[in-house]
A and B are shown apart, each in its own frame.
Chain A
Amino acid sequence: MTSQRVHFYQVGSFAVGNRLLNEDERTVQAQSDRTNSIDSGHRACQGCGEALGARYALDAAMRATNGQIVAVNATGCLEVFSTPYPETSWRIPWLHSLFGNAPAVATGVAAALRAKGNKDVRVVAQAGDGGTVDIGFGCLSGMFERNDDVLFICYDNEGYMNTGVQRSAATPPAARTATTEAVGPEPGNNFGQGKDLPRIAMAHDIPYVATATVADLHDLERKVERAMELRGARYLHILVPCPLGWGSASDETIHIARLATESGLFPVFEAEHGVVTSVSHIRRPVPVEQYLSLQRRFAHLFGANPRPDVIAHLQSMADENIARYGLLQPEMEQSS
């Protein structure tokens, strides 16, 4: 079930919209009447990938459910920059409790709706990678295990950015953070076991698990739509570059997300009931250097004392992803 690109248009289906595309091939984001679930005036940094990812996902969920969603939010950047008293950026019903309990709160909302016999209103829970892979992990695993009717979205910016860029279990090896400084023989974050949450979610055999990035809007929206067609526990993991924490230029956010997938470091795929059903193939392969060199959190791998050994290690991780998910085109360019 690989998604088919529309060819032979000026921009095919790569751009957000296009006057030449049929209405149903345009994205939610191309519509003037999109929800704008998270409104202007929020206090996210310039070029914030998370603000973008949240609008993409929630606007798509709003369209898929005819505007019938409740969002539950864990503590994190997204919560902090959207709701400083007395303002809110949310144009949808939105609920915040604690850092670690968003999956449990979402379960409760879903249970309350069920108790009231309301089948139309759907529940979306969202958190950053800290709230997902670290602090909320126990609640999340329980939510998966009970197969509660919640779509849980993780906006992964690979660290605790709001509190000052500390390491999370989703921080990549070798990355510099406030708690993994670029000093010593093994600078930056360690090459540990990693904590690959999409695969952990798949191990729960829940109905739907998918990854996406802010660089491929069509793919992201299609996955949200697919998730809302299903009932039970669903998990969507969206890579959202963070100019502040990654040390990248504010205008590079989408470009960097694209390089993450094109290098193979961030595999984009979807799975149903624990089985991978489709992958997004790499269109224009790039070495990991191209991705790494745009980010100051990896600056210690380049420059005066370069670390080609560390870069090679990261490249081998990308190559493993490429092999595991079959990310290369069967033939380099699809002929259809």
Chain B
Amino acid sequence: MTNPFAITLDVGSSRANHTGSWRVERPVYVDRLPPCNDACPAGENIQGWLYEAESGNYEAAWHMLVEDNPLPAIMGRVCFHPCETACNRVQVDEAVGINAVERFLGDLAVEKGWALPEPGPDTGKRILVVGAGPAGLSATYHLRRLGHHVRLVDSAPRLGGMLRYGIPAYRLPRAVLDAEIARIVAMGVEIQLEHVVHDVEQERRDGMFDAVFLAVGAQLGKRVDIPAGDSSRVIDAVSFLHQVADDDAPLLGRRVVVYGGGDTAFDAARTARRLGATDAVIVYRRNRERMGASGEELEQALGEGVTVRWLSTVSKFDGDRIMLEKMKLNEEGFPEPTGEFEQLDADSLVLALGQDTDLSLLEHANDVNVRDGAVEVLDSMMASPSGIFAGGDAVPAQRTATVAIGHGKRAAHGIDDFVMGRSAEAKVRHELASFELLNTWYYADAPRTERPELERVRRQTNFEEVIGGLTQDNALFEARRCMSCGNCFECDNCFGVCPDNAVIKLGENMRYQFDYDFCKGCGICVKECPCGAIVMVPEHN
């Protein structure tokens, strides 16, 4: 007798019973596109680098960040962060402070001296990049990584374009700008400053370039005809900010009126306050809801003593007075004159009415289409089949530094395909990880960490940075508020909640696998996955 006393039956394991055959639907692990990544104009993998930051792997996080955007410390300050607007956490408590974490990583990289990836192996291809603003710098970086030779030319004496000559130092300290630009230059870039390209075709022939990227920006402040007794007291905002950046600030007097309602108007008014203006008044023809600048910027400006006259236009600037005409919005939301006037004391008038692009360098480039003052481009940023690409403010798009950085990256890949004679690969985008796919029960309640602001009184007299950075603790906290929408973050929920032990844990960073021999297809794992990274799909046959 082989069995123990009183045991007459052999015991078999229930593992012989493959309950997977009951299944009509099977769970499958997926990765979905988080809304932050979807919204990022620079194409960053935000969820990806936050995941690294959550574990305190800041260097890995930064390396993942600069895969797409070589200027995180800059963008952590000036980006208008559409990622945070799109963030699913808005519907739980508040958006994750992505921009603040980006800045923390960017600053840490500068502090620790982390290097950008090495340039790629030399391809022998020569690319001309015209304009060293965010689009040109981003294209240069990505082209170097692909192994192409880059000549970067700019008309200004220093690199940075609008980052340097348009954005005031209290929003973007020059040391940060210089440090991030220097990292790109260190990849080996041929630089030509104070060089104006008059004819792009000629320039291309002379330098034997295989392709050209035009990132000339929008440098010309729009003027309107305002009867002015003394035109020397009228300046456009672009020139004003440029001169301030050159340490050659014009004398505007004590009462400065800024005409316009975009970011540039606010930059100009806040800069005027810092240069000693007692009154900095923004005159805008629409109302607050229709203003182009961000609400954040308005709040900061008001806090610094800038005032705003909504629904007003400047009709005359005479002597020491500006004549304002009151406006009202019609049914379509357009401002209409009312015929009512009022006066405002002013020493000078700054026009911030938008910017135009100087595209005279394209005069001989016959196959480039220019419409409404912007270069028409394909998805690859290609403007002409002969190999001219364009991006940034010179093409029809939202005019922000982040969009420009995205253009630079896309153009670099477009140029790479062009010079290497490849056809572009269609990019597969994952399905969006929308809020309904999440199970937010599992996320701890954690309100957002705000960045410190410089005391108001100190903001009115100097160009010290207004918004501070996060400490390491705060940045870690903020990163860990990320819900990792649509991408497994190894919370073990599926592994734990399966009544049939049909989830196999593969170990750290290797996620999980279903054991379809035993999975009955109940779907609990899908329902209890916090981040929506599992779907049920029908079984065939």
Contact = CB atoms under 8 A, between A and B. Distances in A.
Interface in B1-55: 9-19, 22, 54-55
27 contacts: A5-B444, A7-B446, A10-B483, A10-B489, A11-B491, A12-B444, A16-B497, A17-B495, A19-B490, A30-B495, A30-B496, A32-B507, A36-B501, A39-B13, A39-B14, A40-B15, A40-B19, A40-B517, A41-B15, A41-B518, A47-B522, A47-B523, A49-B499, A51-B500, A253-B499, A253-B524, A254-B497
Contacts of A52: 497-499
Interface stretch (A86-94, A138-146, A304-312, A313-321): A86-94
B523 to A, nearest CB: 3
B125 interface: no
Given A15-B491, A47-B499, A51-B500, 13 more contacts: A7-B444, A9-B444, A11-B530, A14-B442, A16-B496, A17-B496, A41-B18, A42-B500, A46-B520, A55-B499, A86-B12, A251-B523, A251-B524
A252 interface: yes
B496 A20 contact: no
B408 to A, nearest CB: 33
Interface string A67-86: 00000000000000010011
Given A16-B493, A17-B490, A18-B491, A11 B500 contact: no
**Majority secondary structure, B binding face:** loop
Contact of A39 (B482, B498, B501): B501
Contacts of B493: 15-17
B528 interface: yes
Contacts of B15: 39-41
Q: Which 6 A-B pairs have the closest CB atoms?
A: A17-B492, A12-B444, A16-B496, A251-B523, A41-B14, A47-B522
B54 A47 contact: no
B502 interface: yes
A46 B521 contact: yes
B443 interface: yes
A14 B444 CA distance: 7
Interface in B427-486: 441-446, 477, 480-484
Contact of B17 (A6, A43, A47): A43
Contacts, number: 165
B496 A40 contact: no
B309 interface: no
A82 to B, nearest CB: 7
B299 interface: no
A333 interface: yes
B515 interface: yes
B18 to A, nearest CB: 7
A14 B520 CA distance: 25
A87 B446 contact: no
A42 B499 CA distance: 9
B17 A10 contact: no
A157 to B, nearest CB: 13
Contacts of A42: 14, 17, 19, 500
A17 B522 CA distance: 21
Q: Which of A42, A51, A333 has the most chain B CB atoms closer than 10 A to its own CB? A: A42
B522 A88 contact: no
B489 to A, nearest CB: 6
Nearest to A254: B528
B263 to A, nearest CB: 34
B439 to A, nearest CB: 8
A278 to B, nearest CB: 20
Nearest to B517: A40
Interface residues of B, number: 54
Nearest to B482: A10
A12 B483 CA distance: 11
Contact of B524 (A7, A20, A41, A254): A254
Contacts of A39: 13-15, 501
Contacts of A254: 497, 524, 527-528
A328 B517 CA distance: 44
B526 interface: yes
Contacts of A51: 499-500
A113 interface: no
Contacts of B477: 8
A334 B81 CA distance: 31
A205 B62 CA distance: 59
A217 interface: yes
A195 interface: no
B501 A55 contact: yes
Contacts of B482: 10
B505 interface: yes
Given A41-B17, A87-B17, A250 B500 contact: no
A2 to B, nearest CB: 16
Nearest to B11: A88
B539 interface: no
Contacts of B481: 10
Contacts of A47: 499, 520, 522-524
B206 interface: no
B508 interface: yes
B13 A258 contact: no
B446 to A, nearest CB: 6
Contacts of B55: 19-20
Interface string B49-82: 0000011000000000000000000000000000
A203 B442 CA distance: 35
Interface in A98-121: none
B17 A86 contact: no
Contacts of A250: 522-524
A221 B19 CA distance: 27
Nearest to B444: A12
Contacts of A96: none
Nearest to A7: B444
Given A10-B483, A16-B491, A46 B522 contact: yes
A283 B165 CA distance: 52
Interface string A43-71: 11011110110010000000000000000
Contact of A40 (B483, B489, B491, B501): B501
A36 B484 CA distance: 29
A27 interface: yes
Most buried by A among B13, B15, B18, B499: B499
Contacts of B499: 44, 47-49, 51-52, 55, 253
A255 interface: yes
A306 B271 CA distance: 66
A10 B443 contact: yes
A222 interface: no
Nearest to A26: B492
A258 B441 contact: yes
Contacts of B528: 254-255
Candidate in A8, A14, A251 with the most chain B CB atoms within 10 angstroms: A251
Interface in B504-541: 505, 507-508, 515, 517-518, 520-524, 526-528, 530
Nearest to B528: A254
Contacts of B521: 46
Contact of B527 (A18, A46, A255, A284): A255
A41 B496 CA distance: 17
A153 to B, nearest CB: 16
Contacts of A252: 527
A263 interface: no
B466 to A, nearest CB: 28
Nearest to B504: A32
A327 B401 CA distance: 52
Nearest to A15: B491
A177 interface: no
Contacts of A85: 9
A225 B330 CA distance: 71
A171 interface: no
Nearest to B23: A46
